[in-house]
Structures are given as C-alpha cells and as structure tokens.
C-alpha cells in the first residue's frame, strides 16, 4: 500500500492539558467495538468507576457512544484538561476517534491518504507558522488493501495526478488568490464533465497546460461584476449566519459581519478588500493553506460519486468566507488582524462548520442553488480592478 502523509505533521505534538481548545469537547463521541469491549470489562468489575462508566455510555442501534456533558465535554475530561481514561486505564484505552485525532486517514484502493484536522490548535499553529507550501511524503508498505470497495480503478489512476495538480495550483503564489480561485473552478467544471462522459483519458490533457511556465495554464481572465460580488458575499454571510453553532461568539460575529456588510457602499467594500489585501500581502498563504486542506482531504472522494466540481466549489467558497470574515474583523478592529486571530477563525470554522455534518449539508444545498452557479461565481470573484494582491511569499521550499 502507498501511504501519503503531509510532511509538516511529523512535527505535530499534542498540547495535552495546555491545549486552549481541547478536542474533548464535541457533539458526539462514538466508541469503536474494540474499545467498548474493553470498557465492558471495566464495568464488569462493578466498582465505582465501572458504575460511572455505565452512566456515561449510551447505546443506540448497536452503536455505543459517550453521553457528553451539557457543554459538550467528554464525561472523562478532568478539570486540569487531562483524560481520566488514559490516567486510569492507559493511553491506548480510549476510542479510536480520540487515539487518531487530529489525523484523518482515507483509503482508495492501494492508496492511503493521511492528513491532520484544522480544528486542532496545535495543527493550525504549525500550518500558519510555515508559509511554504505543504509537501506530501510518500512511502510504501506491505499492507494489502482490505477491499477495492467497488472502486473505479481506472478513474482513480486518472484522478490522482489531477488532484495533485489542483493542490499545486492552490499553492502557486504566482497567481493572485482570486485568479487561483477562477482557475480551480473552471478546471474543476471541465474535469467533472470528462468524468461524466467517462473520458478519463482526457483528464491528463486538461491539466497539461499547467505543467509549463505559465501559472494560469492559459486560463482566460473573467470580467468582474461588483454587483454579483456584493450579492454573493451577502448570501455567503447570511448562509453562515443560519448554521448551528455551539459557541455563541460565532453567531455574534456573523451578526456583526452582516451589519457591517449591509452598511457599506460598494465603494467602501472595495476599499476594505483592497486594504485587507495590502495588509495581508505576506500572509495570503494562510488562505491557500485552507484551500489546500479541503482539496487534499475531499477531492479524491470524487472517485466514488464523480462529484468533483462541488468539492472544489466548497473549498473555494469556504476560503472566500474566511477571507471575508477576516477582512471584516480587520476593519472592525481598526485595521488589525494578528495571526492568532486567524488561527481562532480557522479553528472555529473547521470545528463549527466544516466538521459538523448538518452544517455542511445545509451549506452544500445552498451552493447547489442558481445563485452560486458557475458563471456567477466567475464574474463575482474575478479580480476587481486595483485589487490584485501582491503576494510576497514565493513557494521556495516545501514543508
Ligand atoms: S485539540 Fe489538538 S492539541 Fe488540543 S488536546 Fe486535542 S489533539 Fe491535543
């Protein structure tokens, strides 16, 4: 099996009790069968801890999970931020979800892809303090794939280099961010059409123009339409304000963002964007990191359902949402937006929206509507005159 891991995450180290936003707070914590079996042995001892365990586990349709505290904390999270289960039973006696977090792993036939979640503050600290593009490390072991799971192997082999090309485009700082976004959307639409026609051989042809020196791959630029841009930005903010949040601060922040957006004239919005782009000139890579994160995690799943474009659109729109929220925050805070604040934004967004199935489903449903159709997206997010950001961080070395 070929195992592909993001190299940066070799440096990851859990902050443990010093974590500022522990992963032990979540909506649900499902117990895998092996762990549940271990816990039943503890329960069988009949002591006070076993009784607490009984009270802390619920079972529904054969699936066991912890009853989280009202505030979403794990029932075994101690006040000092440590895990009582690890202390009492051993570090390996926690559910697979806890053992693996913040990594995720996905298998596609002979390939295993491993990444790390942006909902973890330590992962984000690493990501945001390393401007250089992500590098993927590849190694091979003797593990046989468990199943090919009705995988379309021909499509997988054709899709792999396409996904990798998308990751390169996302990280190529020679294009302004909005040009990157235009390229990704257009190319994704062509890729999906080829997949629909089962013309898998065409996929290599579609990405070939990006192998030369021209970072745009000859993609024609679009003419921006500020009115569509305003409309779509307002829709993106409204859409986010209707999602479910555990933390009140998200609802408050979105309320403020909507009010500021509604109070600005189109000229003021453009000036805000320009100002923010200039302010972030050497930090635009932060948005490319987010874009990469979603594309890396999601794009290969198109091998199972052919939905390539929708996944790219989700990556792009969430990036733009974060950009807009960042720019509003920058304005509201008197032209300040420290990296620490960005880390909060990304982590909150990952945890509250991107890792919440209900929220993602609502989000995707809206994006399927006419308002977010490709021609509108292209006109809305074409580079507006005078706003092409100058990125000063060149992709010198991968990490
Ligand atoms: S969120 Fe990350 S750093 Fe914090 S406790 Fe979990 S794994 Fe460790």
Condensed to tens digits (0 to 9), the pLDDT of residues 223-239 reads 888 899 999 999 999 99
The string of DSSP letters for 318-331 reads: HHHHHHHHHHHHHH
Query: How far is residue 7 CA from its own chain's centroid?
Result: 17
Q: Do 156 and 90 fall within a single domain?
A: no
Which of ligand 1's atoms lies nearest the C-alpha of 20? 4
Residue in 24, 6, 144 with CA at minimum distance from that of residue 84: 24
**Residue 134, in any domain of the structure:** no
Q: Do 290 and 202 fall within a single domain?
A: yes
Q: How many domains does the chain have?
A: 2
- CB-CB contact of 117 with 106 (8 Å): no
Q: How many CA atoms lie within 13 A of 51 on its CB side?
A: 3
Residue in 21, 27, 66 with CA at minimum distance from that of residue 344: 21
pLDDT tens track for 57-88: 999 988 999 999 998 899 999 999 999 999 99
pLDDT at 304 over 90: yes
Dihedral-angle region of residue 219 (phi above 0 means left; psi in -120 to 50 means alpha; beta otherwise): beta
Length of the chain: 399
pLDDT at 195 over 70: yes
Rounded to 5 degrees, what are φ and ψ at 32? -70, 160
**Residue 38, in any domain of the structure:** yes
DSSP three-state, residue 213: coil
Verify whether ligand 1 is closer than 6 Å to residue 22 (CB atom). yes
Pocket probe for ligand 1: among 94, 102, 348, the residue whose CB has the most ligand atoms within 8 Å is 102
Q: Do 278 and 384 fall within a single domain?
A: yes
Residue 323: give the domain boundaries: 151-399
Q: For residue 372, what are its two tokens?
A: 């977010």
Q: Where are the beta strands (DSSP E) in the chain?
A: 2-6, 57-60, 63-66, 103-108, 111-116, 136-140
Adjacent-strand bridge partners of 115:
104
Q: Do 66 and 170 fall within a single domain?
A: no
**Residue 355, in any domain of the structure:** yes
Verify whether ligand 1 is closer than 6 Å to residue 173 (CB atom). no
Which residue among 39, 67, 100 closes a domain?
Answer: 100
Which of ligand 1's atoms lies nearest the C-alpha of 123? 2
Which of ligand 1's atoms lies nearest the C-alpha of 119? 1
CA 121–ligand 1 middle distance (angstroms) = 7
User: Average pLDDT for residues 352-364, to the nearest whole number?
Assistant: 94
Q: Do 86 and 210 fall within a single domain?
A: no
What is the residue with the minimal CA distance to atom 6 of ligand 1?
Answer: 23
Q: Do 90 and 198 fall within a single domain?
A: no
Which residue among 100, 127, 143 closes a domain?
Answer: 100
CA 34–ligand 1 middle distance (angstroms) = 23
Q: Do 75 and 173 fall within a single domain?
A: no
Q: How many CB atoms lie within 10 A of CB 30?
A: 13
CA 21–ligand 1 middle distance (angstroms) = 7
Q: Do 271 and 187 fall within a single domain?
A: yes
CA 18–ligand 1 middle distance (angstroms) = 9
Verify whether ligand 1 is closer than 6 Å to residue 234 (CB atom). no
Q: Do 163 and 304 fall within a single domain?
A: yes
Query: How far is residue 329 CA from its own chain's centroid?
Result: 20
pLDDT at 126 over 90: yes
Q: Which residues, other chains included, contact 294 with Cβ-Cβ below 8 Å and sequence gap of 6+?
A: 311, 314, 315, 318, 319, 354
Q: Do 92 and 206 fall within a single domain?
A: no
Report cis status (omega within 30 of 0) of the bond before 30. Answer: no
What was the pLDDT predicted at 246?
A: 87
Which of ligand 1's atoms lies nearest the C-alpha of 101? 7
Report d(CA 316, CA 295) in Å as an integer. 9
**Residue 120, in any domain of the structure:** no
What is the residue with the minimal CA distance to atom 2 of ligand 1?
Answer: 120
Residue in 223, 292, 382, 370 with CA at minimum distance from that of residue 284: 292
pLDDT at 370 over 80: yes
pLDDT tens track for 331-354: 999 999 999 999 999 999 999 999
Verify whether ligand 1 is closer than 6 Å to residue 310 (CB atom). no
Verify whether ligand 1 is closer than 6 Å to residue 122 (CB atom). yes
Which residue among 34, 66, 100 closes a domain?
Answer: 100
**Residue 19, in any domain of the structure:** no
What was the pLDDT predicted at 397?
A: 43
- CA dihedral (226, 314, 116, 15) positive or negative: positive
Adjacent-strand bridge partners of 104:
115
The predicted model scores a pTM of: 0.91
CA 380–ligand 1 middle distance (angstroms) = 38
Which of ligand 1's atoms lies nearest the C-alpha of 102? 7
């Amino acid at each position: 099996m070929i195992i592909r891991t993001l190299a940066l995450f070799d440096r990851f180290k859990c902050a443990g009790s010093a974590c500022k936003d522990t992963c032990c707070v979540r909506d649900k914590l499902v117990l895998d069968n092996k762990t549940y079996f271990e816990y039943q042995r503890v329960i069988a001892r009949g002591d006070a801890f076993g009784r607490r365990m009984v009270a802390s586990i619920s079972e529904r349709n054969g699936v066991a999970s912890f009853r989280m505290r009202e505030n979403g904390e794990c029932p075994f999270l101690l006040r000092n931020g440590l895990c009582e289960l690890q202390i009492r039973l051993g570090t390996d006696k926690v559910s697979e979800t806890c053992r693996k977090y913040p990594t995720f792993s996905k298998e596609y036939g002979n390939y295993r892809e491993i990444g790390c979640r942006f909902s973890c503050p330590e992962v984000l600290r690493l990501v945001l303090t390393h401007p250089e593009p992500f590098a993927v490390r590849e190694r091979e072991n003797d593990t046989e794939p468990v199943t090919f799971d009705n995988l379309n192997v021909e499509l997988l082999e054709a899709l792999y280099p396409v996904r990798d090309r998308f990751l390169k485009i996302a990280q190529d700082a020679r294009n302004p961010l909005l040009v990157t976004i235009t390229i990704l959307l257009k190319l994704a639409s062509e890729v999906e059409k080829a997949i629909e026609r089962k013309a898998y051989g065409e996929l290599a042809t579609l990405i070939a123009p990006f192998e030369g020196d021209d970072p745009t791959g000859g993609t024609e630029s679009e003419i921006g339409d500020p009115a569509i841009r305003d409309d779509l930005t307002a829709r993106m903010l409204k859409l986010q304000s209707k999602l479910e949040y555990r933390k009140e601060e998200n609802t408050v922040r979105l309320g403020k963002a909507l009010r500021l957006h509604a109070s600005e004239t189109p000229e003021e919005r453009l000036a805000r964007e320009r100002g923010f782009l200039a302010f972030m000139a050497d930090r635009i890579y932060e948005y490319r990191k987010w874009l990469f994160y979603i594309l890396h995690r999601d794009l290969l799943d198109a091998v199972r359902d052919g939905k390539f474009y929708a996944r790219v659109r989700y990556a792009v729109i969430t990036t733009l949402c974060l950009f807009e929220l960042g720019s509003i925050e920058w304005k509201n805070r008197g032209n300040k937006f420290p990296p620490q604040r960005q880390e909060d934004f990304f982590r909150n967004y990952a945890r509250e929206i991107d890792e919440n199935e209900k929220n993602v489903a609502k989000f995707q449903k809206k994006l399927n509507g006419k308002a977010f159709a490709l021609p509108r997206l292209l006109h809305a997010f074409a580079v507006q005159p005078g706003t092409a950001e100058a990125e000063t961080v060149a992709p010198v070395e991968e990490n």
